[in-house]
Chains A and B, each alone.
Chain A
Amino acid sequence: MITTASPACRYGYYPGCSLMATNRAYDISTRSVARELEVELVELDDWNCCGATAYLPVREKRAFVLSARNLALAEQNGRELATVCNACYVVLRKTNKYMAEDSHLRDDIRQALQAGGMDYSGNVRVRHFLEILVNDIGEARIKARVERALSGWKVACYCGCQLSRPFDDLDHPEYPQLMERLVGWLGAEVVPFPLAAKCCGGMAMTTHPETGQVLTGKILKVAKQRGADCVATACPLCQINLEAYQDKVGRAVGAPCEIPVLYFTQLIGIAFGLPPAALALADNLTPLEPLLGEKVTS
């Protein structure tokens, strides 16, 4: 019997530490959406922190070893590794790239992995789940699954910086399009949002609050000015920065900044008609009732 050839729909999955608690709604909604689209996400067994932006300023090679251990785990059963955290995405990809370009670095890292009983030959492709949905799954399959089109929703698509920087081979580094296309397939109206790839300040929200608040404030302010009624994110730290400090950042930029903020995966799940619990909507810090027209309970 001939079955319809299903395109490569199995990926290693690297959730990252943030998704274990603080941003578990991102993990839950990612898995739910993947299931609906028959995309198999196989979580790496016993993955470790990728080191993020915060380990690099302490020791670079140690940071690369942390990432490389995850790449080695991924290589054990596949070639494609999906992540939903912008920081993880960049750090894992960067490790891959520098290992490929610098043979001394590669030897050092491989020796370190071997000292711990593992190895990595450099054959894993690191991908962001957003890009997988757009490029591998595609418009037809996603549209076909939409049950409750987001008509009337005005969405500001906020990608954050590291999704298209420094790796700008998949999307425009400053005016990214991938999320806008995807959100458009869900039936929502995408508001023009020139700050889509401007930085929210990342950890500066904690280490340099005056700077972080202004950067995040500008993003929320402009989203509101452009008429958006929600902001979609693709990174756990962006989500926290945008949803958790709206009163403070509003004061910092002297403009109203209250607006619902959701992960792009939650937006997809809503359009697919999934129940709120499958998307952990009750985790969100901003009220979603105005959008959903119903109360969110878990």
Chain B
Amino acid sequence: MQTALARELCEEFLEDVYALPHGEKLKQCLQCGTCSASCPSSAAMEFGPREIIASLRAGMLDRVLNAKTVWLCVSCYSCSVRCPAGIPLTDVMYELKRLEVDKGLAKDAPGETMAHAFAETVDRYGRNAETTLLRKYFLRTNPLHALAQIPLAIRLFVRGRLEILPRKIKGLDSLHKMLAAIEENGRR
């Protein structure tokens, strides 16, 4: 599908990428494939970072968003440090994830569920605690999978390594004011 609307969305998205620090370098991609070859997750991706860039440049944002690729990115920065054109690919992947979050396109992606559970916990307490995070995550994905975590939870518990709730920071009000102040500026 190559509708005018999809094309327009893609161009809009590319403008956002160019606005990232060093984002303009995306225009200089050589299609050498170094990034995909360096990516620890590429075996599990439908297609790797090189093809993402090719698709974006061809105006095929929808192809990228439909593929199970962006949420498999683990932010290891291998592609970014190896790219001969200096393209901040990890940041491009983050921007794609944010686009999916924004447009509500990533609803079943486990990575997205995790990211949201994380952000909510931090927003609420100012800190994160693994127990809260994983409880939210498994409730929203597959609660049965939580059962598989019980043996590990017990091993951690007997060692005193489980914290049931995050400790709220004292400056939570002031933190909330800061987050409210930044919110006004779009997706980034």
Contact = CB atoms under 8 A, between A and B. Distances in A.
A45 B167 CA distance: 13
Interface of B: 21, 40-41, 43-44, 71-72, 74-78, 80-81, 88, 90, 94, 97-98, 101, 110-116, 118-119, 122, 126-130, 134, 137, 152, 155-156, 159-163, 166-167, 169-171, 174-183, 185, 187-188
A168 B80 CA distance: 11
Interface residues of A, number: 65
A201 interface: yes
Nearest to B180: A115
A161 B21 contact: no
A244 interface: yes
Given A21-B163, A61-B188, A282-B159, A49 B74 contact: no
B163 A22 contact: yes
Interface of A: 17-18, 20-24, 46-49, 51-62, 65-66, 69, 90, 97-98, 101-102, 108-109, 111-113, 115-118, 161-162, 165-166, 168, 173-174, 198-199, 201-204, 206-208, 210-211, 214-215, 244-245, 282-283, 285
Given A17-B166, A52-B118, A57-B101, A116 B171 contact: yes
Contacts of A22: 130, 156, 161-163
Contacts of B90: 166
Nearest to B177: A116
Q: Is the interface of B mostly helix, strand, loop or mixed?
A: helix
B101 A48 contact: no
A168 B152 CA distance: 35
Contacts of A162: 75-77
A215 B78 CA distance: 14
Contacts of A58: 98, 101, 115-116, 118-119
Contacts of B152: 244-245
A218 to B, nearest CB: 9
A61 B185 contact: yes
